[in-house]
Amino acid sequence: MKCLQRQPEMSRSQELQRYARSQKVVNMNVKLLGMEGDPDLQFLLQGGDLLKVRSSSWKKTRYYRLQEDCKTMWHESKKTFKTKQTFSIDDISAVRMGRQSEGLRKNTEEQVDGRCFSIFFKSRRKNLDLIASSEEEAKQWVNSLQKIVSSINKLSSQQKAEHWILSCLVKADKNKDEKLSLSEMKNFLRLINLEVDDEYAEILFKKCDTSNSGYLSGKEIEHFYDLLTHREEIDVIYGEYAKTTGFMSPDNLVEFLMKEQREKTTLADAYKIIEKHEPDEKAKEKKVLSKDGLIMYLHHPDTLVLNPDHKDVYQDMGQPLNHYFISSSHNTYLMEDQLKGPSSTEAYVRALLKGCRCVELDCWDGSDDEPVIYHGYTLTSKILFKDVIKAIKEYAFKTSDYPVILSLENHCSVEQQEVMARHMSSILGSALVTSPLGEGMPTDFPSPEDLKGKFLIKGKRLNKLEASFAAEAAAADDTDVTEEEESNDEDEQKEEEKKKKLKLAKELSDMVIYCKSVHFHSFEDARKNQSFYEMSSFKEGKAVNLAEESANAYVHHNVDKLSRIYPAGTRTDSSNYNPVPLWNAGCQIVALNFQTNCTDMDVNQGRFLINGKSGYILKPAYMRDAATEFDPITLTRGEWLKHKTLHVMVISAQQLPKVNDKKSSIVDPVIKVEVYGVPADVAEKETNYIENNGFNPTWNESFQFDVYVPELALVRFLVEDYDSTSDNEFVGQYTLPFNSLKMGYRHVPLFNKNGDRLPSAGLFVHIMVVDAE
């Protein structure tokens, strides 16, 4: 790709001038993306006809092209009242060549594979399945779309904000004369989520209309932009430390970084920061940092609220597997609810790409001797077991290299269990663990590091693992396991069904090495009779009761064994439960419905945000100690008690999105700061709401929290649209571990309901953590 050396702050000014000097809108955005003269971009801007596929009988030609903002795809629609004929490039998660979607595999013939491609979205939006007129054209579409997605993803937060504001300027300019009238300026302000009264709008307009022409153009638009994006809070910070002729010298910068940001910094570091982030060449030559340079620095990914040292794998990955919290999904195959929604291999792809390391496969007999996966005794659709294994194989290690656990819910006949075993063996190959690592009978779990790139099977086993090491071990005659044990892994069935026996195929049984499913009777029974590799699954209600009433015993149990928690069967809407109390009890595999957007999934994402998004988080040392006295409920004194005081000042927000597409709908933002952890640490505080300003609201409100067990605590920043008559509406959020907070003045990125980054939105806060007296 042809890329330019981009300096965002200079680019902002240059692009506004281009806009005001009647340059074509598309050139402005092409420059920003660094794709001048790129043939792939020109191809998308020109667009073309594609065959859209919805079913075997619904295949219709539609025209697709990239709009002038270079971030929105438009498509033709034959519906008379179709209002939304666009989708954002930001919403695309992947573009895949060939018949890779279930829809294309089901509704097209194999001979058109080379002409097919699919656009997959980050949200619940259905895949867009398309067929080009030739293989060459299909490749052109795929390559071009992948390139524009990559280019937009590479933009900094500052550049994305600039791109968004420029796009709103273009939309507001109704007559396309590259000038802004007063009414167009008001329209622009509403587009960027800012409502001002007519009197203030006229004052602002007259202040910028220095030519008294009745419209803004040229430098006037640039002045208007500067007034709009001016950040007084940055002025205050900069003024405190810019003590050298109005600029920050390297010494001033060191003082700021050490005093405010709590960063160990040298003069050499300060010079590097100026060289890297200062956009003004004259200031850079003088070795000073301007206010724009400070803003650029504070927006850099490594200076945000998340400790950059925690972004990559930094924890010890050589501990036994059960010493980690493991990102886990329940009924992974479901895209929606538990009763009638669709099952899809895409659900596995999405979970794995989010770092999930334990996926569930609900297996039943299918036609033509092919096992299927669906939610038994419901109207959910069925997908082939072998297609799921293929999808898992392809996407298991895209986000994380660490092991994936396949949690089998086996309801199949012996014959189809044998088919399952053959599919897993042939598709997963040597990556499937079918015998203990090393020589001899193991006495403990291998580590995630030992199991990199490997698959583990969780399920029933006919005998103890030790039996396979017996010198004269005979073939097992008993092929039965009780349905009662099996139903412990699943939603409750009728009482009489629990007592059935399930025949188990030896080929499948032998694949279960480190995760043998057994029924839980009591902690004492588990201690006396369970081997380390034998694990139990707990329905959320039972698990929560144990975590509240026998917390220390549960922590002890999880020092030696693995525990899996799953949602209650009554959650037919695929709602979730709070995973935090179960993590507090040391439970490793706390399975959630990944398809459901909710606070619980936000917290889960925050827990696994760090350590390279590997899906494995090392439990605190006191939760790995066989002699631990840790009890999250009573909090007796011990090494876990490290009382800290968290000070948070919520200063401002930038470019918050609208909660709906109505032009007149302006956000009234309110910020909530929440702490999750042991019961003593749970707290929530909120700011006042700001009326009609989602663009640049300011609060300067301070909060204080007591945190007693920091290693288990999480902090969540939540933005809502205030409503006095009904529940507030979700705008965005960001959750991270308490121990991953950076101190000082920090920008906080925001995620949407789906857990994806909002391109230009964020908070600006001041964080301080001190030892409590």
**Distances 198 to 182, 187, 689 between C-alpha atoms, Å:** 10, 12, 22
pLDDT at position 8, please? 42
- Asked if residue 588 lies in contact with residue 287, where contact means CB atoms within 8 angstroms, the answer is no
Q: Which three-class secondary structure state does DSSP give residue 103?
A: helix
Query: Strand 128-131 and strand 48-53: pairing?
Result: antiparallel
Give the C-alpha separation, 469 to 663, whole Å. 70
**Best CA proximity match to 649, nearest among 504, 768, 503:** 768
Q: Which one is catalytic: 163, 310, 323, 330? A: 330
203 membership: H or E segment, kind and range: helix 198-208
Q: What are the residues facing 328 on neighbouring strands? A: 358, 591
Is the C-alpha dihedral spanning 14, 19, 21, 24 positive or negative? positive
The DSSP call for residue 693 is B
Which residue type sits at 356? C
Give the strands of the sheet with 59-66, arranged side by side: 86-88, 72-75, 59-66, 48-53, 128-131, 116-121, 92-97
- Asked if residue 586 lies in contact with residue 622, where contact means CB atoms within 8 angstroms, the answer is no
Give the C-alpha separation, 613 to 311, whole Å. 8
User: Is 75 in the active site?
Assistant: no
**Best CA proximity match to 191, nearest among 699, 560, 656, 615:** 656
**Best CA proximity match to 682, nearest among 633, 729, 647:** 633
Cβ count near 607 (within 10 Å): 21
For residue 401, give every residue at least 6 positions away whose Cβ sits within 8 Å of its Cβ, in sequence order, or none: 452, 453, 614
Which pair of tokens denotes residue 592? Answer: 């959630």
Q: Enumerate residue ranges in the chain where pLDDT < 50.
A: 1-12, 14-24, 471-474, 484-499
pLDDT at position 313, please? 98
- Asked if residue 259 lies in contact with residue 240, where contact means CB atoms within 8 angstroms, the answer is no
**Distances 673 to 18, 510, 705, 717, 720 between C-alpha atoms, Å:** 41, 49, 10, 5, 11
Output the DSSP codes for 250-314.
HHHHHHHHHHTS-----HHHHHHHHHHH---HHHHHTT-B-HHHHHHHHHSGGGSSB-GGGTS--
Give the C-alpha separation, 206 to 537, whole Å. 68
**Best CA proximity match to 242, nearest among 283, 300, 301, 302:** 283
Q: Which one is catalytic: 375, 411, 556, 557? A: 375
Rg (CA), the chain: 29
Give the C-alpha separation, 10 to 634, whole Å. 57
Give the C-alpha separation, 23 to 6, whole Å. 19
User: Is 375 in the active site?
Assistant: yes
Which residue type sits at 215? Y
Give the C-alpha separation, 481 to 512, whole Å. 14
Give the C-alpha separation, 469 to 606, whole Å. 42
Q: What are the residues facing 529 on neighbouring strands? A: none
Give the C-alpha separation, 220 to 211, whole Å. 8
List for the chain the helix, strand, coil content (%; round to 5).
Answer: 35, 25, 40
